[in-house]
Structure 1
């Protein structure tokens, strides 16, 4: 008669148990103090990038040389400085860890907002976390390219991709929809700044200076992002892919308007303000 003693029966692991263990492991990694410190460095690197973008925009306003007023231009500027390559390699690691943290939030939900689990609000938060994670992975790839000396202009890449997509009617429609989504993202940044909802992302007592930096920075970045979306739609409607050159194109279009110098300086200062606020996020953001 076969032995049916439950104590001697081989243990089996259900798929849900394996999934729970994987989530638990991911959660432990995301909450690891060393991981957290390096991930927070991503905010510092993001701040540096935004400072350089704002500086380039102001330099363009006064006719002070070339350079792209976008992420790739900022990294090219950094690479040309003494110690810039080392900073870019640090940025690669920081951006990757920041991206992994956001992906962990997308999978597990925000550790700082546990009460929202299971609600539609939490679903939206997870989608946003995943989207931000993708952005940081893109930052990491861009930083890697410039650290290795093979960086490329994101504006040129955007225009090339737009040209390929516009070869089909469905692609043009997709571009218009994408442009509207980008405008919506920009609008959300403006709302987040104007309503001061960004304060929900912070922990501890924050100064009035941090609150002002966040409000101005989010509004300025939101307007810049919305302008990028408008250029994407314009490029699709007019069948001119060279207009869809991202943030650099948005800044240069702004500079070509009446009072363009003033507008470009204000926009550059706004992006610099967001960069300064990024430094504050490295200290105060909930993780």
Structure 2
């Protein structure tokens, strides 16, 4: 094989990376971070209401349902869908094109972390598009139906365990990222400043709370599979409400709710000043 043929894939990858490094994608991805901020803040507010005796759905679809109402609701949902799709595309380029020069170990870790976010943000974009066309989904109902349909097949329990393990792993990733402050390189603009200390605290609390919420969701998937009870898999809303059945559950729920709001505020700052 000639040198020219060998270098052709690398040349194509360089060209694709250059195409992905555009102002348009940068702007859309930043808007996607802002969308995430709004969703997390709304989920946190609903969770606080539930902790103090109120009602609501502490999950993405519950938050989006509040935004989808009104004349401008569909347009808002389309804009949010585009932002999340752009963020998913940016994460895809992060996990493939930009990661290809990293050492093998770091490349694999980046592929797993950013690849998981591609799926999450892509799913959110589809959910928002469904809201835009008036087909409002319910996250908890979808999770139960998915678990029930999977467990009706011979290998379904294994599939549900894999899904639960994946969600659990993503949750652990966020907790570790928060505790180790691995998010700092994303916001180099505020390093060694008083504002940086506040943003650091928001990042730690926010990432740990988001990770804890995902760990709860993953555990419910595992419980549903191991006990052969699909109804136990209730998504984020069900997992947070289930905390109230345990000692100090309300306090834990409040802590997670406040943490999700902190994550939302951090995501706003990330949208404006973060590295892209």
**TM exceeding 0.5:** yes
Displacement after TM superposition at 1:81 (Å): 5.5
Displacement after TM superposition at 1:85 (Å): 3.0
Task: Name the residue aligned to 1:7.
Answer: none
Displacement after TM superposition at 1:126 (Å): 2.2
* 1:232 partnered with 2:224: no
Displacement after TM superposition at 1:169 (Å): 4.5
- Out of 94, 98, 101, the residue aligned to residue 105 of structure 1 is 94
**Contact 2:92 2:114 survives alignment (8 Å):** yes
Q: Aligned equivalents of 2:72 and 2:5: distance in 1?
A: 49
SS at match of 1:117: coil
Task: Name the residue aligned to 1:59.
Answer: 49
**Contact 2:17 2:98 survives alignment (8 Å):** no
**Contact 1:47 1:276 survives alignment (8 Å):** yes
What's the TM-score, normalizing by structure 1? 0.86
Q: What is the root-mean-square deviation of aligned Cα atoms in Å?
A: 2.3
Deviations 1:26-85 (A, max 9, x none): 21222111220111110000000001111111122223233x211111111211256343
Q: Aligned equivalents of 1:116 and 1:187: distance in 2?
A: 26
Task: Name the residue aligned to 1:263.
Answer: 252
Task: Name the residue aligned to 2:264.
Answer: 275
Displacement after TM superposition at 1:255 (Å): 2.2
Structure number with greater Rg is 1
Task: Name the residue aligned to 2:117.
Answer: 132
**Contact 1:29 1:35 survives alignment (8 Å):** no
Task: Name the residue aligned to 2:26.
Answer: 36
Q: Aligned equivalents of 1:141 and 1:180: distance in 2?
A: 23
Q: Aligned equivalents of 1:41 and 1:16: distance in 2?
A: 38
- Out of 174, 195, 203, the residue aligned to residue 159 of structure 2 is 174
SS at match of 1:177: helix
**Contact 2:37 2:264 survives alignment (8 Å):** yes
Q: Aligned equivalents of 2:32 and 2:53: distance in 1?
A: 31
Task: Name the residue aligned to 2:106.
Answer: 121
SS at match of 2:190: coil
SS at match of 1:23: helix
Task: Name the residue aligned to 1:26.
Answer: 16
**Contact 1:109 1:126 survives alignment (8 Å):** no
Task: Name the residue aligned to 1:70.
Answer: 59
Task: Name the residue aligned to 1:4.
Answer: none
**Contact 2:177 2:207 survives alignment (8 Å):** yes
What's the TM-score, normalizing by structure 2? 0.90
Q: Aligned equivalents of 2:173 and 2:157: distance in 1?
A: 24
Q: Aligned equivalents of 2:70 and 2:197: distance in 1?
A: 33
- Structure 1: gaps (5+ residues): 1-13
Displacement after TM superposition at 1:91 (Å): 0.7
